[in-house]
Structures are given as structure tokens and as C-alpha cells.
Homo-oligomer: A and B are copies of this chain.
């Protein structure tokens, strides 16, 4: 049989009991005849504890040393998982990101994987061992320094290893049962999706569904690695993410995602001249701010001025406002507005392509629920709207209802984030 890569998040290995449960699961997979490679995150909140320690020592820790510090977290969890497995009669060998051949660039704290050379993992598998690999970490190609991959890093490690090892599947174990049509905390009738295509999952991830990180899905799509998202607390089948979603089974709409992490900035009264808008976005780009939605109103003929609105992560709000306020003299806009009381609601579905009228139905549902739309953006398989933050729940429920996404039974699970 082939190779199975499994990834367990921090909540699955939060304590000794969790580690033992994970070990049993790994051993069961091995006994079923697979070669098993396991990627683990740091235990529970231990990464936060290490960050707290760093802050006690230094207000602005160096990136290189912060990576050295944080990688201790996975080192601890992977060694403990290997020990727990040994009690079952199977033997495991743990490997750091560096030992597992996870080669990255030198961008400490948000390194990108350049290459994976898993020679030691292959050797360990060949000797009959289960291989345990530290997620979230690698070694830089140039300086041979320890790096971390940033948010979603352990999922990305798992998918990258699965690709390099030509694994049959990458199983992402988390604290929910899979991918849902909406957050079950908001929509209790939300239904688990048995299959999701890469492109739908990419849109869902980009629109606030925290179950998988964008990077990990992108990596899986590029190397065509099937991902199986499932619960580490139950044995039931989760959600499969791959390229082959049967056309016949394809729902028009896969789900409704929402995101409360963005803020809206409006630059009021920008002179409608060539290059003024460009100057604004150039400035934001120089400040390394990733914009999401952008809307420019038509210029009012009477004033020759226009308003430009865009959304961005709230965490970048201060940086953006500071950079733009410095630009006031140069560009000569009238006013700068900031609103972090917004939310984004997105409808995602590959079937949208062949079914016109989806937007009309979506907007009608929102209107019927009394939700005012502030901004709109679309892709081929997605419609996103910005609404008042307090209306996000109503909007999600109304859209979910309008497109008949509800399942037959109520799922008693929580749709939470996967950490990193």
C-alpha cells in the first residue's frame, strides 16, 4: 500500500492524553498496511507561551531568534508522539523540519518552501519506522538557519511532504468533522461537504473559512495531492478536497463563508487625474499591505473628484492609515475614513459558472433579511459582499437558506480555526 501523510494540529496533541490518542490513530493506520508520515504542530497553546516569553525578554525579538525559539514547540510534541507510539509495539523516529529536508527561503517567520528532499524520511520508512515530522518549520537554503512558515505552516508542511513522497493522501486532522456549508455556530443546520474542489476550497479559504489555510490548498492543487480533512476526535469520514469532483454531484453552491478580520478604508475626494489612484495603491504596496476588495466610484462631473474604498486586514489598519495620511499633501484628497465594523460574506460554488442569476438571488436574500450591501466583488465561482459587522450572521443564514444548503440533521460540532 502507499504512503499516508497525517497532520495533527495543536489541539489534538495538547496534553499527554491527546498525544496517546493520536498515537493510537497513527498505529491503526500503520497496521492497516500503510507507510505513515505524521506532521505535528506544537502542543496546545505552547507557541503562544513561547511568544509570551520572548516578549518578556525583548519588545522586538529578532526574526531569526524567534524562529529558533518557536521551533522548540514542535520538537517537544514530535518527540512525545514518537515515544507514545513506541508503547504500541511499533517504532517511530522524529525529525525536525531541517532533518526532513524542508528547504525554505530566508524569510524568517513567513518562509516559503523552496524544495523538499525527504531522504531521511524515505530511509526511515524503508526501515519500517513511522516518521514523525515537525510541522511549521524548515531550514533556509542559503544560511542553513532554522525558519518557520507562518500561519497554516503545519498544514503546508504536510501537503509539501505528501507531494515530495508521492503520498496517496494528506489527512489533515482537526477539531471539526470537515468542511461545512457554513459555520455551524451561525447556521446550526449547516451540512458537511463530502467533496470540495481545490478551486472552491481556495475561495472558501480566502473568504474566511479557517479550516484550511490558503497556502496549503494552493500547494495541494499545484501537486494534485488529495486532502482529507477530518476530526481527530472521531473515526467518521471527513471532507475530501481534490480536483476530481463529479460534475453530476456538483452542487451549484458549495457554501457560505464569512470573515470578520477586515476593515474598510475610504479615501474621499481623490482628484480624478491619471496616476492619482496609482500613487495611492503604490504607497500601500510599498507598505507591504495586501488589499482585498477595491471599489472606485465614478467621478462626479461637478467636482472632478472620486472616492476610493478598499478592504484590508484589520491588523494592517494602522500602517495603511499612517502611510496614506503622509500622502495627503502629494495627492490632495479630501478625507481619509476608517471602518473596522464591517464583515465579508461570500457565496462559493463551482456551479455558479453555468447558472446565471445567482447574484440576483443572493442579493434578494440579503435584502429580505434587511442586510445592506456596502461593497461587492466577484470571481468566476464566488460572490462576496461587505456588510455591517452586526449583520454578518443574518446575511450568512439568509444566503444559506436561500440556496437550500441545509443538511437533514443538525451537526453538533464547532466550526473553528485550525491554528497553524
Residues of A within 8 A of B (CB): 16, 19-20, 50, 53-54, 56-59, 61-62, 64-66, 68-69, 71-73, 75-76, 78-80, 82-84, 86-87, 91-94, 99, 120, 144
A65 CB contact (under 8 Å) in B61, B62, B79: B79
Flag if B72 contacts A86 (CB, 8 Å).
no
Decide: A69 near B62, CB < 8 A? Known: A16-B57, A19-B57, A20-B57.
Answer: no
Decide: A65 near B50, CB < 8 A? Known: A20-B57, A56-B16, A75-B71.
Answer: no
CA distance A56 to B16 in the complex (A): 6
Flag if B71 contacts A83 (CB, 8 Å).
no
Min Cβ gap A68→B in Å is: 4
CB nearest neighbor in B for A43: B53
Flag if B66 contacts A79 (CB, 8 Å).
yes
- For residue A57, which residues in chain B have a CB less than 8 angstroms away from its CB? 16, 19-20, 80, 83-84
Query: Which of the listed residues A57, A82, A92 has the most CB atoms from chain B within 10 Å of its own CB?
Result: A57
**Interface SS, A side:** helix
Flag if B58 contacts A87 (CB, 8 Å).
yes
A61 CB contact (under 8 Å) in B61, B71, B73, B83: B83
- For residue A58, which residues in chain B have a CB less than 8 angstroms away from its CB? 83-84, 86-87
- For residue A66, which residues in chain B have a CB less than 8 angstroms away from its CB? 79, 83
- For residue A68, which residues in chain B have a CB less than 8 angstroms away from its CB? 75, 78-79, 82, 94
A53 CB contact (under 8 Å) in B16, B54, B59: B16
Known: A54-B80, A62-B83; 16 extra A-B contacts, CB below 8 A, are A16-B56, A16-B57, A19-B57, A57-B84, A58-B83, A59-B87, A62-B86, A65-B79, A66-B83, A68-B78, A68-B82, A69-B76, A69-B79, A72-B73, A72-B75, A99-B144
CA distance A20 to B120 in the complex (A): 39
- For residue A56, which residues in chain B have a CB less than 8 angstroms away from its CB? 16
- For residue A16, which residues in chain B have a CB less than 8 angstroms away from its CB? 53, 56-57
Min Cβ gap A322→B in Å is: 24
